[in-house]
Amino acid sequence: MIEPLKHLANTPVKPETLELKFSDIAPPLTERQAALESARCLYCYDAPCVNACPSDIDIPEFIRQIAQDNVNGAAKTIWSENILGGSCARVCPTEILCEQSCVRNKTDECAPVLIGQLQRYATDNADKSAHPFARAESTGKRITIVGAGPAGLSCAHRLAMLGHDVVIHEAQAKSGGLNEYGIASYKMTDDFAQKEVEFLLGIGGIEIVYNSALGREISLSALQSEFDAVFLAIGLGSTRTLALGHEEAPGVMTAVDYIRELRQSDDLTALPVPENAIVIGAGNTAIDMAVQIKRLGAEQVYLVYRRGEEAMSATDHEQALARDEGVQIRTWARPAEIELDNEGKVAGMRFVRTAEDGGKLVDTDRSFSLKAEAIFKAIGQTLVSDELDPAIELSGGKLLVDESLHTTLTGVYAGGDCTGIGQNLTVEAVQQGKKAAESIHQDLMAAGDK
């Protein structure tokens, strides 16, 4: 039940239409398409695509393996650097990563190789009946991870592979993190997040304790004393507020909460959908929210951002997706007032026109209102650090880590969105998890040598 919207009617869209609108947004390549596309790869040396990939996948190698009819080998090449290669293939903004730097992205080459789609082809079609990686001999070390999102899972897999035993504490009832709860539904269909976790756990040596959160069921100090190392992959647990009056009024909620409900819903027809919706924000979550609520049947969806399009963190590809869906993108407008009807429910929002003055965002004297029964806030998430140790320093509101993912507290490592490195991409979280595992391994083994 979505409490803040319970006064709204359910989606007016027919179930069969919904099924279509929430099916795979980028259908997988067929064998023929994969053969044609893989043959376009020039097998570059010191390839720009690899340098652009946060997770170091040897892209020319796996594409060549696909071209040579070795899909299992291709998948292993991917997984050896990125065990969540299947979800990254679906959610990575390849247009600003590998595919942007593909040498065939140059004008005379027509188009970049569809690297993301080929990665999906390999990981989807590889034989997963036996886990492709074996564990090293047991080190006898036990490591705990807080958070079973991409960073935590990646770290767990690499640690297990290196011979350590891992216990993951996950606050939610399911693992996968944003892959399970956050990404737009049509980007991750057929329960893929769970299937991928199941595959990942196939290596063995990883235990996941669900509904186990810091400050509730567990504490950092207890974990530190029980385990040889702790990896924090807690993500960003809180969302920013608009700091306006009536933010608790029926009709106002965070995009993250709505998307979580949507992702967990077995029956999309039961979701409350406003006729008119406003999404505040400029990132991929804002786009995911706007597009999904439109597909669910909202007549008019506005995505409002206080700066210009060029400053939006959502990629051009994502913005185009929203426009194609009919989402109205309004820029240079700052939320000023949540407008209520006489029953105290959201009726719209008033915005003040903004402008840039010497690099600073300033209000103008113009304003406008948009009618809406629901306002979705997608203005960013913040770290909840209350339950951590004060010895763990923060930087910019996130956990401060060094290149090897050490926090400032010995024996405690961190990765993923809770740290300040990168752009909060899934693929970066996976990479940080993997790197942290290598750091932990190195530190523990070095300590053992003494």
**Chain contacts with another protein (rule: CB under 8 A):** 35-36, 39, 42-48, 51, 67, 103-104, 106, 108-109
Nearest Cα to Cα of residue 234 among 298, 160, 150, 314? 150
Name the 3-class secondary structure at 153. helix
Q: How far is the CB of 434 from another protein (least distance, A)?
A: 21
Q: Given the complex with another protein, which of 56 and 337 has the nearer CB atom? A: 56
Report the nearest approach of another protein to the CB of residue 440 (Å).
Answer: 28
Closer to another protein by CB, 35 or 400: give it: 35
Which is nearer to another protein, 6 or 32 (by Cβ)?
A: 32
| In the complex, least distance from residue 82 CB atom to another protein, rounded to whole angstroms | 20
Least distance in Å: CB of 47 to another protein? Answer: 7
Single out the residue of 398, 401, 412 nearest to residue 443, CA to CA: 412
Task: Check: CB of residue 159 under 8 Å from CB of residue 440.
Answer: yes
> d(Cα 187, Cα 14) in Å, to the nearest integer?
21
- Cβ proximity to another protein, 14 vs 106, nearer residue: 106
Contact 256, 283 (CB under 8 A): no
Helix (H) or strand (E) holding 59: helix 59-67
Give min distance, CB of 194 to another protein, in A: 35
Give the pair of three-digit tokens for residue 258: 């709505």
Query: What is the DSSP pairing of strand 346-357 with strand 229-232?
Result: unpaired
Measured CA to CA, the distance from residue 390 to residue 275 in angstroms comes to 46
Closer residue to another protein (CB): 41 or 374: 41
**Pick 112 or 182: Cβ nearer another protein:** 112
The strand pair at 346-357 and 360-371 is best described as antiparallel
Shorter beta-carbon distance to another protein: residue 104 or 330: 104
Shortest Å, Cβ 61 to another protein? 13
Tell me how long the chain is.
450
We find the least distance from the C-beta atom of residue 30 to another protein, in angstroms, to be 14
**Least distance in Å: CB of 106 to another protein?**
5
Backbone CA torsion sign across 361, 350, 312, 179: positive
Query: Are 289 and 376 spatial neighbours (Cβ–Cβ below 8 Å)?
Result: yes
- The closest of 74, 95, 82 to 31, measured between CA atoms, is 74
d(CA 281, CA 335): 10
For residue 387, what are the CA distances in angstroms to 210, 215, 289, 390, 392? 18, 5, 30, 9, 11
Query: Smaller CB distance to another protein: residue 103 or 394?
Result: 103
